[in-house]
Amino acid sequence: METLRRAIEDYLYELDANLDLSMVAAHALTRGIDSPALAELAGLSRDTLYEIRELVPTVVEELSIDVGSLPEAVFRKAGEAARDYLAGDLGFRPAVRRVTELMFNRDYLDFDDRPDVGIDQFDDLWLLNEWIFAVDIGYERDGVYYFETSTDAEMYFKTVASALATQRT
């Protein structure tokens, strides 16, 4: 049920562009989770966007799924990227891009009560966001107001990733 709940949050908050919610529904059925709307969702193609959008609230209602808030879902998704980085399954720069993309999303930042607020390791995350932006457009070595070296940026990101990996929402 947890996998289905997370997939629904990712769908509702548009946190995973590669998500195939119909396939997740089919896997949930094979694990014994059942409802009429879930079975209907499992039978849809991922291209039937309107039908999927119409079915999701019914699936949530029929299965009494407790959908988390946007800040909780974003922080969870950023934590997944951090754990992948710390485990060596995701490279440094892709992990930074994913975490900053999530945590600097306007919809997330609009919340005053976010899981990252008040955690010291996130105080300079905006510098990392600026640094990765500079790297992406080719200005990595044009100034030291972000991080002097990629190694410095990665050392800081390790503290962020560690904080994300240990937080539970």
The reply to whether the predicted model has a pTM over 0.95 is no
**What's the whole-number average pLDDT of the chain?**
91
Which pLDDT belongs to residue 124?
87
> What digits encode the pLDDT tens for the residues 102-133?
999 888 888 988 888 888 889 889 889 988 88
In terms of average pLDDT, the best of 32-36, 125-129, 141-145, 147-151 is 32-36
Say which residue, 169 or 156, is predicted with more confidence: 156
Question: Number of C-alpha atoms within 13 angstroms, CB side, residue 99?
Answer: 33
Pairwise CA distance, residues 124 & 152, whole Å:
13
Q: Which residue has the tokens 């640094």?
A: 131
Domain ranges across the chain: 2-62, 70-166
Cα dihedral 26→31→33→37 (10° resolution): 10
